[in-house]
Structure 1
Amino acid sequence: MAKSTLYGIGVNAQDVENIAMALGCKSGSLPILYLGLTVGSKLKKLNDWKPVIDKFNTRLTGWKARSMSFGGRLILIKSVLSSLPLYFFSLYRAPTGIINLLESMRRKFFWGGAGDSSKMAWVKWDDILVPYESGGLNVGSLKAKNLALTSKWWWHFRVESGALTLFGRSEADRVHSLLASVSLNNGSPDTWKWALNDKGHSKTSIMASEMDEKLLQNGYQPSETVRNKLAPKKIEIFAWRAIRRRLPT
């Protein structure tokens, strides 16, 4: 027990210390860092998200944006920068300021900026985030990813019997008791089905895409685009910019 630490939620600090002494362990106070995540804080402040921002800065510092092609930068944004905050995004709703900061870092890197220096953005970032069929580059917004990941808990609470034990089930049990006598499907038990998926299961990528359709300014309007899987990315992006008349002349 000497290596353990006791924390209290809604308990007087002195009571926690007394119990810790009786158990032969240390007493502590929230928030704490557990498995890389801050526990006991709502993560509403910029400093709470410093680990994510530091990860972005560390990656961007090691990359030479100006020496990379647009294709190389796009691949790194999709495969690395878009994935770095997902651990935090899966449990916490990120403040708007954090989302805007991370998006600005992705946008600056895409256009070849580095550190405090920026380069001219020839296309609106929202138009880059949308899918290929809507005229974008299929990057996807971080806000949609955050909303999709946190909303997935809502789905787990309804389809998995033990999902609510982590957070308490009093409200859920109350709702279930009210619906116990209601049957919508005679002859078989009622179940939740995910309407956006043929198999009836939730999928984060589909949820994020649906949210982006509502969040991004162009609303996923069909648009002329160029996409050839055999062509190098930098050629594909050059053609995409040419169609939009967004090339320096």
Structure 2
Amino acid sequence: MGNTLGCKPAVIPFTYLGVPVGANMKLKKNWAPIVEKFHNKLSSWKAKNLSMGGRLTLTKAVLGSLPSFFFSLLVAPNGVIGKLEKIIRKFLWGGTEEKRKINWVAWEKVVAPKNMGGLGLGSLKAVNLSLIVKWWWRLRTEENTLWGKVIKGIHNIRNKASNYMASSSIPGVWKRIVGAGDELKKNRSQYIRNYRKEGTLRSQALTDSVLIDWTHDVPIKVNCFICRASMDRIPTNCALQKRGILTGSSRCEYCETEDENTSHALIKCPLAQNVWQWVFHWCNISAPMTGDIGEKLTFIKDWGNCSRKRSNLLAICYSTMWSIWRVRCDRIFKKLRCSPATVADNVISIVFTWIKHRRKKCHYQWTQWCINPFDYL
């Protein structure tokens, strides 16, 4: 028959349009090619050459293409989901097969939506379940489609009860799809209960830190840094000592009078306070110079009545904290010193460059920007 039709004969299992056909996809070994492709896309050499924002963007791109193609047809075993999530965690934090890096943010916060204080990566299990159940729902709502008639004919669904969706004696992809739909229906009350009760507690746990506004005016790496800083998940001396990495003193490298935590490094340190004074003087804003990182972010979110001016201030303050952190890192690793005035000048120039090239129809002029970033809004 194959020779007559001009096709090459093959044996089951085989691959058609990139999807395995005829293999038992309940076995983890049959997912090995897919896991290998996933691993190649998120290889360690790419992690070394990308920032945190770049790694997050690449991970989202891979999650949006590679797994979705398979997850829309195949129910992934929990072991495969766990292996893929392990690859993501290792890549996201810059780890390799030989060297493990610190996972600074809990996995539930990494996959949580941004409006709940997470990084917005999304859950593989939730993606798989939603894509699979979509077919179950389409069969119920699209009765006259060709593929629907084929499924109903194979499983003899016509003239059966509404809850009859597949024949128990016919194995295959559709039976597993129906099984996922039945699991969702069976545990629907549990999902709703978890969402209303436990989900509320989980959202409270995720939002213990101040919810930040992610802005397109600054690179993603800056947004990621601010998000981590709001959770107190950046490598300060106190954080490193808490994790058993730093064995010496946790004192600040600049003032050497207080322990270096997130609020001290970005807000309370004399270096940081002087930078903030320069920046707020340039903006002609009266702002509190004390407090912690949460109070500073809250002040930014509540400042003023003009959304355009608030967007400018948001980009300026995010860039200020980013610049302060970079200066502190240069002091530790490169033994470089930088005055607060120089840091403030860098903030002025870098924010202008970012906004100028990231906003559509931006008519800011450098001379006007240097005087005040709000005068012409």
Q: Is 1:171 aligned to 2:157, yes or no?
A: yes
* 1:96 and 2:78 aligned: yes
Give the aligned partner of residue 195 of structure 1. none
Q: Which has the higher contact order (CA 8 A, sep 6+)?
A: 1
Are residues 42 and 28 of structure 1, via their aligned partners in 2, closer, same or farther at CA, if it must alter by over 3 Å? same
Residue pair 1:129, 1:138 contacting (<8 A) in 2 also: yes
Shift of 1:47: 1.8
* Counterpart check, 1:158 vs 2:144: no
Deviation at 1:52, TM superposition (A): 1.3
What stretches of structure 1 of length at least 5 have no aligned partner? 6-23, 179-209
State the distance in 2 between where 1:130 and 1:239 align. 16
Residues 107 and 100 (structure 1 numbering): CA distance in 2 closer, same or farther, change over 3 Å? Answer: same
AA matched with 1:66? K
d(CA) in 2 for partners of 1:43 and 1:116?
30
Q: Determine the C-alpha separation between the residues in 1 that align with 2:77 and 2:200.
A: 20
| Corresponding residue for residue 3 of structure 2 | 3
SS at match of 2:20: strand
Write out aligned runs for 1:1-249 (5 A): 1-3=1-3, 29-61=11-43, 63-161=45-143, 162=145, 163-169=147-153, 170-175=156-161, 219-221=202-204, 223=207, 224-226=210-212, 227-249=214-236
CA 1:216–1:67: 2 relative to 1, 3 Å: farther
CA 1:110–1:47: 2 relative to 1, 3 Å = same
Percent pairwise identity: 39
216 and 74 in structure 1: CA distance in 2 versus 1, 3 angstrom threshold: farther
Quick one: distance in 1 between partners of 2:135 and 2:230? 41
CA deviation digits over 1:108-130, x for unaligned, max 9?
Answer: 11101123432110111111111
Question: How much does 1:69 deviate?
Answer: 0.8
Residue identity opposite 1:171 in structure 2: I
Q: Distance in 2 between matches of 1:172 and 1:135?
A: 47
Secondary structure (helix, strand or coil) at the match of 1:93 reads coil
- Secondary structure of residue in 1 paired with 2:66: coil
In 2, are the aligned partners of 1:131 and 1:220 still within 8 Å (CA)?
A: no
Distance 1:101 1:2 in 2: 39
User: For 1:111 and 1:33, how far apart are their aligned partners in 2?
Assistant: 34
After TM superposition, give the deviation of residue 230 of structure 1 in Å. 1.2
> For each residue in 1:51-100, what CA deviation from the matched residue of structure 2 results, as whole angstroms up to 9, or x when unmatched?
21121122223752123111111100111244211111111110000001
Mapped to 2, the partners of 1:88 and 1:4 lie a distance apart of 32
Secondary structure (helix, strand or coil) at the match of 2:15 reads strand
**Rounded Cα–Cα distance in structure 1 between residues aligned with 2:94 and 2:4:** 48
Paired residue type of 1:168: K
- Cα distance change of structure 1 residues 79 and 235 upon mapping to structure 2, 3 Å threshold: same
Question: Which has more radius of gyration?
Answer: 2
Q: Indicate conservation of the 8 Å contact 1:135/1:225, yes or no.
A: yes
More helix by share: 2
CA RMSD of aligned residues (A): 3.0
Q: How many residues align?
A: 198
Q: 1:165 to 1:220 in 2, by over 3 A?
A: farther
* C-alpha distance 64-28 of structure 1, shift in aligned 2 (>3 A): closer
Q: Would the aligned equivalents of 2:44 and 2:96 in 1 still touch at CA under 8 Å?
A: no
Which amino acid is 1:87 matched to? Answer: F
TM-score, with normalisation over the residues of structure 1?
A: 0.69
Encode CA deviations 1:137-165: one digit per residue, 9 max, x unaligned: 11101111100111001111111123432
Distance 2:2 2:215 in 1: 61
* Amino acid aligned to 1:45: L
Deviation digits for residues 194-222 of structure 1, max 9, x if unmatched?
Answer: xxxxxxxxxxxxxxxx99x8598964447
